[in-house]
Amino acid sequence: MSEAPQVNRPAMSPRRLLLPLALAQFICSFAGSNMNVMINDISQDLDTTVSGVQIAITLFLLIMAIFMIPGSKLTDRWGRKRCFMWGLALYGVGAVVSAVSPGLGVLILGNSVLEGVGTALLIPPVYILTTIAFTDLTSRAKAFGVISGLGGIGAAAGPLIGGLITAAISWRAAFVFQALVILVIILLSRRMVDPIAPDPTRPFDVVGSILSAAGMFFLVFGILQADDNGALMAALMAVGAVLLGWFVLHVRARERAGREPLLSTGLFRNRTSDLGLVTQNMQWLLLMGTSFVVATFLQVARGYDAIETGLIFTAATLGVLVSSLAAERLAKRRAQRTLIMAGFIVTGTGIGLLIGLVSASDRIVAFVPGLLLIGLGLGVMLTPSVNVVQSSFPEALQGEISGLSRSVSNLGSSFGTAIAGTILVSGVASGNRSYALAMAALGAFALIGLVAAMLLPGRRGEPEETREQLLPGSGAASPG
């Protein structure tokens, strides 16, 4: 077993370091939802369809997910600061390309590809650097709370901010806003020092990266074909399943040969973390799925413009903000399992209200109670879920688990937009029926999340797996 790397604390104070890291999570989450209120504007300007914009949004979320684990592994070879800064630069270029895009293809290149890959490079260092900079569990939990809270606020406020910018200037200006925020983060990160020296000799599993990325891509892209061609959907999803199965066999073969795989199977031997990952996946599926479904329905079926649609999401933004601010106090009084369970119950109730009230009233206020409850529920459980997963592993494995955690969350985001969005788009012109079906599907996923939360350990301070259980002797990768 190789020795763990020497860890040096960052030159910036933890508090100063937290600001650019939290802003990075904010803008990446913002990018995943702000386009939802621009669907009509983008469709008309670029001469495309609602389905075309849905593909661009889903591909951004999907590319984040499929490259997040390779991105986390590259932090060991290239260094955490270098990956963070390169990711910011790539994201910024993508935002500028999106702002000047003449058609859907260039928009997909800028927003989906460049911003997606940039995010996959910069997000893993956010969680690795936070884990290293905040040494005790209490301060680390607070830091994760700030980052996760801003991530939730970014996703919830994306439609509001995007709607305001689109109405005041144009949808292209929303991408200029993203580029400006990226520039601010780069300036704030100038004094950042990598706490662990990069190891250029660290092996990188190229075959595993290709298999996992291709498998997830075909799986989600297949879902997007459900409305157009059922046979094609089944074929694409079957290809995705085969590739993911091949990936699992590849990982096991590398571990048996004593070589480091892209993703260690030892990471899945921690029951608490496994359940926490399920809750993370469901949370982001619900957040991004609800955002896309409600925003699209309001614009296409109800004829609302970007600013009207964005203002409706103020309720969700306030809900996430209030519950995120209360997260620290709640964590002192309630177990993480309790908070996650309560979050899914409140979110599920909000989904029920969105289904029931849309049929009962055509007024805009009918969407407020449901969105408020969804915001409150998600804000309550985002931080505990992250803390459950990250705290289940020692510092030496934070790179791997951070990449896996972010990948699972972003995969949930892409599933939410793909599954619920496809149900909606297939019959959005028919009115409330497709909307109700899409929201009901999200309600079923909320129930899955609740069951996973109920299976989490109920005691505070649940013992973590020992380092020996998770390092090479049990199949996990050796720290660099």
Contacts of 293 (CB under 8 A, 6+ apart): 420, 421, 424, 435, 438, 439, 442
Q: Quick: pLDDT tens for 386-440.
A: 888 877 887 667 667 877 887 888 888 888 888 888 888 776 556 678 888 899 9
Residue 224 has what pLDDT? 77
Residue of 316 and 98 predicted with greater confidence? 98
Whether residue 340 contacts residue 279, with contact meaning beta carbons closer than 8 Å, is answered with: yes
Closest CA to 129 of 19, 2, 28: 19
Helix H or strand E segment including 354: helix 336-360
Residue 301's alpha-carbon distances to 52, 106, 293, 420, 431, in angstroms, are 17, 28, 11, 16, 6
Give the per-residue pLDDT at 459: 53
pLDDT of 469: 37
What's the token pair of residue 330?
Answer: 């709640």
CA dist 28 and 430 (Å) reads: 33
For residues 37-60, average pLDDT: 89
Q: What is the rounded distance in angstroms from the CA atom of residue 250 to the CA atom of residue 159? A: 41
Predicted model pTM: 0.80
b/e per residue 213-237 (b: at least 16 CB within 10 A)? bbbbbbbbbbbbbbbeeeeebeebb
- pLDDT, tens digit (0-9, with 9 covering 90-100), for 275-330: 999 999 999 999 989 988 998 888 888 888 888 888 888 888 888 888 877 877 77
Where do the H-state alpha helices sit in 169-229? Answer: 171-188, 206-224
110-to-59, 79, 89 alpha-carbon distances in Å: 11, 25, 12
CB 90 within 8 A of CB 166: no
* Buried residues in 266-282 as b, exposed as e (16+ CB within 10 A): bbeebebbbbbbbbbbb
The CATH-assigned architecture of domain 14-193+260-474 is: Up-down Bundle (1.20)
